[in-house]
Amino acid sequence: MNFFDFILHAIFPDRCPFCNKVIENYEISCKDCKDITDEYTEPIFSGVNGYSCVSSFPYNSIFRKSIVNFKFYSKPYYCEKLAYFLKESLAKGYQNTNFDIITYVPMHKYDFKNRGYNQSELLAKELSNLTGIKCANLLNKIKRTPSQHSLKLSERKTNLDGAFELSHPSLIQKKSVLIIDDVVTSGTTLSSCCKELSKANPKNICCLTLAKTS
């Protein structure tokens, strides 16, 4: 660590994305949380309306706490550490797939303005930095909708109808696309995004999330 990095770390220390303890800049999490994350060495496989989905952790315990803080309590800097888990899940879950482009589930501009950032976008861009795979905004959310987690399962299925539109279809044609989100629950959000992306005739579309609900 050079002198500038030392001073920067002293003023803005790295923090564990699961418990917020101060950690060294080369660490991904604190020792206590590492003991827990080390129990989850294999990604979780699922599907969203025919599209494959790989997740790093179950949405419980320290993982749920981390994502809630990252998403709702102004901790966008967690993305730098959390993206390492996405990278590991990508390598293990899609070891036979070479992706051309990474994208993410978009937010409506009103919700983005209120939160100040899109957690899925931050994860996607950080994963791009770690892997060298190009990241691009391929979707826009044009319809403001209630949050999926606030709805009944039956309501979730139609809540996102017409909510997304393609932004750069020429970037997708005959390409392998990886779409990032923080959590997959019913799969409706990712399914809706994949359905819209498929209109541009990609080679294939796969999903990657930090967590999956039981």
What residues contact residue 90 under an 8 Å CB cut-off, 6+ apart?
A: 54, 127, 131, 178, 208
Q: Summarize pLDDT for 18-54 with one digit per residue, the tens.
A: 999 999 989 999 999 999 999 999 999 999 989 999 9
**Per-residue model confidence (pLDDT) at position 146:** 75
The secondary structure of 164-204, three-state, reads: EEECCHHHCCCCEEEEEEEEECCCHHHHHHHHHHHHHCCCE
What residues contact residue 148 under an 8 Å CB cut-off, 6+ apart?
A: 156, 159, 160, 185, 186, 188, 189
Q: Summarize pLDDT for 79-110 with one digit per residue, the tens.
A: 999 999 999 999 999 999 999 999 999 999 99
Answer whether 24's CB lies under 8 Å from 81's CB: no
Residue 28: count other Cβ atoms within 10 Å of its Cβ: 19
Query: Which tokens belong to 27?
Result: 């660490």
Answer whether 174's CB lies under 8 Å from 146's CB: no
Residue 201 has φ and ψ, to the nearest 5°, of 60, 55
What is the arithmetic mean of pLDDT over 122-137?
A: 98
CATH fold group of domain 44-146+155-212: Rossmann fold (3.40.50)
